[in-house]
Amino acid sequence: MDGPLPEQLPLPGEEPAPSDVPSSTPLVTTTVEIIIPVFDEERALPGCVATLHDFLTARMPFDWTITIVDNASTDGTLLVAKRLARQWPRVRVMSVEQRGKGNAVRAAWSASRADVVAYMDVDLSTALDATIPLVAALAVGHSDIAIGSRLAPGARAVRSIKRELASRGYNMLLRLTHGAQFRDAQCGFKAARAEVVRPLLQRVEDNTWFFDTELLLLAEHNGLRVLEIPVDWVEDVDSRVNVTGTAATNLRGLIRMVWTKLSGGADIAELPPRAEPNAVHPDAVLAVRDTPRLRHLVMFSVIGLMATVTTLVLYTVFRTWWPPLAANLVAMTLSLLLNTEANRRLTFRDRPRGPLVLVHLQSLVVFALYCGFTSGALLVLDAVADRPSRLVELVVLLASSALGTLGRFVLLNTWIFRLQPVSIPEPRKEPRT
């Protein structure tokens, strides 16, 4: 049956309720603060703030504030921002002397008293229609961080081939090196629960273009729920982003983050309770999934490749002092220890961690089985074949090594870092009266 529900009908003598509820009467008590970091944007700023202000006034169901963060501008940006703040009560101004988008966002988010904090670029390349689902996912407790994504299913992006390839290549590198589950780290359209993001901000070291990626890597590493919202995005032809310089900064950041995770610097114990799953925007893509086996396999492979290179380097160094067998034994032992620790901290970080000594002893057992399997394959070949050629030996060694590596992964997954069963208590039965 069409038409309004009974509770939506006006009472006798009352005026009909408007179809669009203005933001001056928010539907819920959640407060939202949207940050706009700016540097030398005196011309673009008035139009951006006016467009955003009109959108939020008409559409935002939460209590909201816009904060313009001047990031050490050298033109009249700060004066323009103050004029806009005098024009609209819901617009505030903040000044940060240290340059860098990371500095601007960190300072504003850390000082905010809102429940949900967000930021967007001043060029408004991302369509504002995605703002409501971005914030709503956090307001209802579904997620901890929500990000706009130009690469998620349903997104539409208009940009140059150069930026398209650079973006896809960078995000693919993120998945390969860190097992990242989010698809688009760099879209300037993000939001977070304030109580969750504050401890993360204290650990983020980068203050420039790697800031977003580092924040998301820390969030995933600590088991937070990251939600991607597909967005419509149009490239700003007047963008000042230096793609080459940004790529170099991001590569250095990715390498640094590997060490940060291995050293335990990415582990944050003071996080508040995580968000619980709930219903949210139908097109949203949840970036954190339970037991992502594909990520385990990718990270295991990457770490194995790095361990092989490490073994070769260590052997080359030790061989200058020691005979081949001694140099190989020490190099393989050190490489194995690093390999196990990397898998413990990165590949199976979402699994329960046993005592450190026990984990390394178990890995030695697994490695001994691996060596025994590959050596046994060569012994069997020598027993069944009369003087096999070097090529046949190499094929058998490669095949046995591949099977042995797969066996190592299975043992790591099911024995050393196995999932622990969780007992769920039966519901308490109330006595009948």
**Boundary (domain end) residue, out of 286, 321, 352:** 286
On whether residue 176 sits in a domain, the answer given is: yes
Q: Is residue 9 part of a domain?
A: no
Look at residue 239 in the predicted model and tell me its pLDDT: 60
pLDDT digits (tens, 9 = 90+) for 221-274: 888 999 999 999 998 766 656 666 677 888 889 888 888 887 778 888 777 766
CATH number at residue 121: 3.90.550.10
CB of 116 within 8 A of CB of 31? yes
- pLDDT of residue 420 exceeding 60: no
Contact between 55 and 44 under an 8 Å Cβ cutoff? The reply is no
**Distance separating alpha carbons of residues 343 and 304, to the nearest angstrom:** 9
Backbone angles phi, psi at 228, to 5 degrees: -105, 130
Same domain, 32 and 69: yes
Domain match, 249 and 323 both? no
| 429 belongs to a structural domain | no
pLDDT band at 294 (very low <50, low <70, confident <90, very high): low
R_g over Cα of the chain: 27
* DSSP SS3 for 87: helix
- Average model confidence (pLDDT) across the chain: 81
For residue range 99-144, list pLDDT tens digits in order.
889 999 999 999 999 999 999 999 899 999 999 999 999 998 889 9
Q: Decide if pLDDT at 424 tops 60.
A: no
Q: Among 286, 314, 342, where does a domain finish?
A: 286
**CA pair distance 383, 68, nearest whole angstrom:** 77
Domain count, the chain: 2
pLDDT at 4: 41
Q: Tell me the whole-structure pTM to 2 decimals.
A: 0.64
| Alpha-carbon torsion (91, 97, 99, 101), positive or negative | negative
pLDDT at 383: 83
Q: Is residue 394 part of a domain?
A: yes
237 inside domain: yes
163-212 pLDDT tens trace: 888 888 888 888 877 878 888 998 999 999 999 999 999 999 999 889 99
Q: List beta partners, residue 228.
A: 147, 285
Q: Tens digit of pLDDT for each residue in 259-275?
A: 888 777 888 877 776 65
Do 212 and 70 have their domain in common?
Answer: yes
Residue ending a domain, choose from 261, 286, 311? 286
Q: Residues 30-58: what's their mean pLDDT?
A: 95
Decide if pLDDT at 422 tops 50.
no
Q: Which two tokens stand for residue 372?
A: 């025994």
Range of the domain at 372: 293-416
Is the confidence at residue 423, as pLDDT, over 60?
Answer: no
Percent of all residues in the chain with a pLDDT value above 90, rounded to a whole number: 34
Q: Which amino acid is at 56?
A: L
